[in-house]
Structure 1
């Protein structure tokens, strides 16, 4: 995912949410509707979350230091995880508390009856524009993946976060319209509380999904199967490498992949010849998978006999890896 696409979607969502938050809060002050209060707090939380994503993207661009030799790319994951916490607490738990309070002490909407409906309809229009921007930017990098797979597999967190937030905001607005509409129709404030509770449950669910997916990125994810296949093919396509003994990949940030591999090479007459071969392999890897920016290749001599003797004639396990022995 390009950083510019994610930034464009974040800014569009930020502008929409700031405007929506102001109008919702004015509607709450005029009507006292708990759904409007929950939705205004939801929009404030979303605005803060977009600010956090922008801050994380900026801090992730810092140059590597001796203390952090692989750079700060994972800061984007940290701030995305903070977003899930904010959405859970400020958005979801607050809405559930407000729903409980209003259910215990229901209040009908007695003045400015048209305001909440008008504000919610306007908010749906503004949020739809933001959601459309997020969809358009996501489609540029999603390829043939389903939306669920894209959200689960994306290594850059910004677009999945904005997509889920905007989707949740639109559904939340529908819930708020449901609660406010039935409250106006029946003069029973419990409908308003019910709409608020639905918003709270929705936000908690979205926050949990974001937390789970972002935690996986923080722990460290390897390359997708298609990229692993492309890297493997790039390594063995030339005459320099006989086979890959073992290989591991790890995302250091959304757009920086580390590749570490032990490769079986043919005996060389000089270290210079070996170095030229390794450089050629690295060039092929970067051409095949451009995000593979940090590459470590350890040359070795493959010996099938040594592999069999090391495991008593069986298959080599991952724990044993003596020099010159292949891992299968």
Structure 2
């Protein structure tokens, strides 16, 4: 039972967003069917896409926890990044695509909106649920970023689940405001095509979010280094060992959000024998893992400074 509780707590952002989107999606589709609103239909599709996205991210988190095997010696952690990229594609192709199509069709063939009050009630209900989901996502993200600025924290984050939900919920709230404005304008001015323009505007918001998420996911898929502070700490710990003459370079790559592979090239003092070197390497690895638990795999290569590409890390 504790394990299940811990997993639920760890995924509270995803579960909260999933529950909100499922309820909102049904309400939006019902409202769209009653009133004939294009923007409400776009918003319904948007909620369905968001719900599917949360399921994919939960699946990605589950798959990423599989242990390493012969085919994947560094584990399956980066599978989460693949599903994050799929999420970005879905937002762009399905969410934005349907919004553009529905908006275009409604502009070409405007139909008078009926019972707009239904839309207003559903939009208000949706804002309440989306706002609650956004607040949970923001609180969890805010706790994890520490003293780092929110934009910098997003760019440096190696766990896409948190910032994807945050951006999805932000886009959803903006979309709801656009849908509300489109509905009010279409009804008040007796110009139903304005509802179609609102649908296109929602598509633009989703397209921008999708492009940003695809860009961030692409970087994670290709492979990103660890936080510069982690690299600098590795450099400092190895360089401070009495058997090390100099550290030539420290290279890292995230194999999962909380897992880093590090390769170190170090020049040992000439008097260190091969037998002593093996013991010293094991000692340094133990010291590094104790200081930096995020280091899942450590490779230390003895190499003369003149034979290596020297790299001195910066914490900035």
Q: TM-score, normalised by structure 2?
A: 0.92
Q: How much does 1:108 deviate?
A: 1.9
Q: Does 1:77 align with 2:81?
A: yes
**2: distance between equivalents of 1:186 and 1:176?**
15
Instruction: Give 2:102's match in structure 1, choosing from 76, 87, 98.
Output: 98
Aligned to 2:3: none
Q: How much does 1:237 deviate?
A: 2.1
**1: distance between equivalents of 2:9 and 2:161?**
9
Q: Does 1:327 align with 2:310?
A: yes
Aligned to 2:29: 25
Aligned to 1:265: 268
Q: How many residues align structurally?
A: 306
* Pair 174,269 (structure 1): closer, same or farther in 2 beyond 3 Å: closer
Contact 2:116–2:183 (Cα < 8 Å) also in 1: no
- For 1:204-283, what aligned pairs fall within 5 Å after superposition? 204-268=207-271, 270-283=273-286
**2: distance between equivalents of 1:147 and 1:327?**
33
SS in 1 for 2:69: coil
Aligned to 1:108: 112
Instruction: Give 2:191's match in structure 1, choosing from 188, 191, 201.
Output: 188
CA RMSD of aligned residues (A): 1.7
* Pair 49,326 (structure 1): closer, same or farther in 2 beyond 3 Å: closer
Contact 2:107–2:196 (Cα < 8 Å) also in 1: yes
Q: How much does 1:240 deviate?
A: 2.5
Q: Does 1:49 align with 2:53?
A: yes
**2: distance between equivalents of 1:67 and 1:225?**
30
Contact 1:78–1:218 (Cα < 8 Å) also in 2: yes
**2: distance between equivalents of 1:257 and 1:5?**
24
Aligned to 1:10: 14
SS in 1 for 2:134: helix
Contact 2:234–2:250 (Cα < 8 Å) also in 1: no
**2: distance between equivalents of 1:214 and 1:184?**
41
Q: How much does 1:276 deviate?
A: 2.6
Aligned to 1:38: 42
Q: How much does 1:153 deviate?
A: 1.4
What does the per-residue CA deviation read over 1:170-227, in whole Å, with 9 as the maximum and x for residues that have no partner? 0000000000111121221111111111100000010000001100110111112111
Rg larger for:
1
**1: distance between equivalents of 2:297 and 2:8?**
22
Q: TM-score, normalised by structure 1?
A: 0.89
Unaligned runs of 5+ in 1: 308-320
Contact 1:107–1:188 (Cα < 8 Å) also in 2: no
- For 1:49-198, what aligned pairs fall within 5 Å after superposition? 49-110=53-114, 112-198=115-201
What does the per-residue CA deviation read over 1:304-326, in whole Å, with 9 as the maximum and x for residues that have no partner? xxx3xxxxxxxxxxxxx4xxx56
What does the per-residue CA deviation read over 1:153-177, in whole Å, with 9 as the maximum and x for residues that have no partner? 1011100110110000000000000
